Structure 1
Amino acid sequence: MPGLYYEDFEVDHHFRHELSRTVNDADNTMFSLMSMNPQPLHIDAAFSEGTEWGQRLFNSMFTLAILIGLSVQDTTLGTTIGNLGMSDVRFPAPVFHGDTLRAETLVISKRESKSRADAGLVEFEHSCFNQDGVLVAKCTRMALMRKRPVEAQA
């Protein structure tokens, strides 16, 4: 797996993730309905035309999921045990159908696990930008990461 182990992360390391994702109407409608969110700002074009946005907003919870997902390939693929929490989630600008999202990650802290000798905690700051470089989402995430297996350290 290409994911990094706990020992591979360095505080202040900045990742600019290569993957990007263009979001569309079908994504927004499907996610909103699958997550039981009937907000007309997401699923009703006629309603949304009468708002200050003049169009549907892309579901912010899906934006958050894409933000985290874009980071996985470079950071935690196969080496994370689980997410322990997300905080300071912000959406400073809207996302619309047709926007292309990209992500960056900053390692802001790390420490050994107090309860698991085979793991450590890594705190990430994830930022999501649209095609114009506008920050559209940001969050802090704490992940429980596997340490490098003993046989792999030799």
Structure 2
Amino acid sequence: MERPRHFEDYVLGEMRRTYGRTITETDFVVHAGHTGDFFPHHMDAEAMKDSPWGQRIAHGTMTFAIGIGLTASEINPLAFSYGYERLRFPKPVFIGDTIHTELTITGLEPDAKRPGHGRIIEQVRVLNQRGETVLACDHVYLAKRRA
């Protein structure tokens, strides 16, 4: 386990990159089953042959779940997620694509509601094997301040 980090231990511009993960047809099927989203965009290969993409595209919520799940390698018992903002899917993800996530600390600020914590803003970018951004958002989390 990583060393517990207080708010004051985070540095603007700090970056990390996850390992990659190849998206499979099983991911599509399992995610559709979990969510109930069986839209043709994700599940009907024949219908999507004539689409602008020429093939099925991944659920945005699946791309988010996997892309964020890849970041769970760093566990800090002094911090917790407050939420995600400005979520976008600028490019589609296809079966066979390999994605990874890059994170950059872009904001450190006090938290007015919780004086014992600071708010950390982390820019999240999920990229495919071609270096194209397929998901972009800001992760906001809170970390305990030193006493």
Match of 1:21 in 2: 21
Amino acid at match of 2:87: V
The count of aligned residue pairs is: 146
Query: Where do residues 42-81 of structure 1 align in structure 2 (5 Å cutoff)?
Result: 42-74=42-74, 76-81=75-80
Cα deviation digits, residues 90-124 of structure 1 (max 9, x gap): 11111100111011111111123333354221111
Root mean square deviation, CA, Å: 2.0
CA distance in 2, matches of 1:33, 1:14: 34
Query: Where do residues 79-90 of structure 1 align in structure 2 (5 Å cutoff)?
Result: 79-81=78-80, 83-90=81-88
Alpha-carbon shift at residue 61 of structure 1 (Å): 1.0
Pair 1:132 & 2:130 matched: yes
Structure with the largest fraction of helix: 1
Alpha-carbon shift at residue 59 of structure 1 (Å): 1.1
CA distance in 1, matches of 2:78, 2:69: 14
TM-score under structure 1 normalisation?
Answer: 0.82
Match of 1:111 in 2: 109
Q: Which runs of 5+ in 2 are unaligned?
A: none
Return closer, same or farther for 1:105/1:132 CA change in 2, 3 Å cut-off: same
Amino acid at match of 1:133: G
Q: Matched residues, percent identical? A: 28
Cα deviation digits, residues 63-113 of structure 1 (max 9, x gap): 112222222314x554432x3232221111111001110111111111233
